[in-house]
Amino acid sequence: MTAPAQLDSVDLAILRALQNDARITNRDLAAAAGIAPSTCLDRVARLRSCGVITGSATKIDPAALGRPLQAMLFVRVQPHRRELVDPFVQHALAQPETRAVFHLTGPDDFLVHVAATSAADLQRLVLDEFTARQEVALVHTTLIFQQWDGGPLLPPRVSRP
């Protein structure tokens, strides 16, 4: 496990601003962090090089692309062995409906977030792409009515003795 990066208040201000708006200009980012634009560029480059910032992404509404029905598929694989994990994950990620795949502990082995065009499309995905696989013992489907994103991810607060 990687040790947490050593971040100061300026780094945290930069991360908070970038998480709220990844398209913010360097000048506005520097102003939000209270530093010079050249210093800000250096700080962001350092945060990227040490692996704190791993990328930026554009959020797209699945419904706007004709995939209004989102669901979580809880998948149980049997036997749950290492040699089956990677092929299953690659298969799940190859489906155009797949938004994310999580490997879990507990009764289910995987959680697959999907966005489908309709209930019939979701049924086809579950029956033809997941339960048809030999290692898949069970798929439990839960529809998503609404989703809320959390706030910026910041390091845990350090308690002082």
Q: Summarize pLDDT for 54-64 with one digit per residue, the tens.
A: 998 888 999 99
Distance, CA of 34 to CA of 10 (rounded, Å): 8
Distance, CA of 140 to CA of 22 (rounded, Å): 35
Taken in order of first residue, the domains within the chain and their CATH numbers are: 9-49 (1.10.10.10), 62-144 (3.30.70.920)
Residue type, 120: A
**pLDDT score recorded for residue 131:** 97
Confidence of residue 126 (pLDDT cuts 50, 70, 90): very high
Q: What is the mean pLDDT of residues 128-157?
A: 92
DSSP reduced 3-state for 62: helix
Confidence of residue 158 (pLDDT cuts 50, 70, 90): low
Closest alpha carbon to 41 in 6, 14, 12: 14
- Cβ(46)–Cβ(20) under 8 Å? no
Q: What is the mean pLDDT of residues 2-26?
A: 91
pTM tops 0.85, yes or no:
no
DSSP reduced 3-state for 103: strand
Q: What is the mean pLDDT of residues 130-137?
A: 96
Angle at 66 between CA 124 and CA 23, to 5 degrees: 125
Closest alpha carbon to 3 in 45, 42, 51: 51
Helical H segments across the chain, by residue range: 9-20, 26-33, 37-49, 82-94, 119-124
Convert the pLDDT of each residue in 36-49 to its tens digit: 999 999 999 999 99
